[in-house]
Amino acid sequence: MIKAKDFLLVTIQFLLLIAFGLMPPGFGAPFLLPFLDFSLTVSGILVLGFAFLKLSSNLTPFPTPKQKGTLEINGIYKYIRHPIYTGILLTALGIALYSASYGRLIITALLYFLFLYKSKYEEMMLLEKFEDYADYKKRTGRFFPRWVFNK
């Protein structure tokens, strides 16, 4: 059952993404090397694609898992618990750096904090729904593989 908090979190996410898209380019020269900007953006799009394909019928924009959903622990989910959030963050960071926009960098940071909160909320419900989730959580990283940031 979708809760009011689910709608609020998804609405905030949607509004931040709209603000990101409407934000004008920024402060002149690209912030970093264009190759890095491009690499982050393409990596984010690829992560999103792999996550969407693997999640398939379990996909929902809301943190509450589907009633008949299953726990996906293969593919990209073998390494990352929330690859859709990762993909959005990498793509947003790449675009923000390429467009040299402080506003987009700020919105990317706000998205990170929103996804951190949203993923913690989501994981509370996943722990209740799936008895294997606690072990899965120990083996994987939240947004990046555990071996990258060890979290």
Going along the chain from its start, the domains and CATH numbers come out as 4-149 (1.20.120.1630)
pLDDT at 41: 93
User: Among 83, 92, 82, 122, which residue's Cα sits nearest to residue 16?
Assistant: 92
pLDDT: which is higher, 79 or 146: 79
- Residue 47 structure tokens: 């992560």
Instruction: Indicate if the pLDDT at residue 28 is higher than 70.
Output: no
99 pLDDT more than 90: no
From the number of C-beta atoms within 10 Å of its C-beta (0-12, 13-18, 19+), residue 122 rates as: buried
User: Which residues are within 8 A (CB) of 1 and not within 5 positions of it... i.e. 6 or more apart?
Assistant: 64, 67
Q: Chain centroid to CA 13: how far?
A: 10
32 pLDDT band, cuts 50/70/90, is: low
Residue 118 pLDDT greater than 90, yes or no: yes
Kindly state the tokens that stand for 89: 């963050």
What pLDDT does 1 receive? 67
Tokens at 74, concatenated = 């293969």
Between 17-21, 61-65, 76-80, 144-148, the lowest mean confidence (pLDDT) is in: 144-148
Mean residue pLDDT of the chain comes to 89
Within a 10 A sphere around the Cβ of 40, how many other Cβ atoms?
21
pLDDT tops 60 at residue 16: yes
In angstroms, the CA 75 to CA 80 distance is: 9
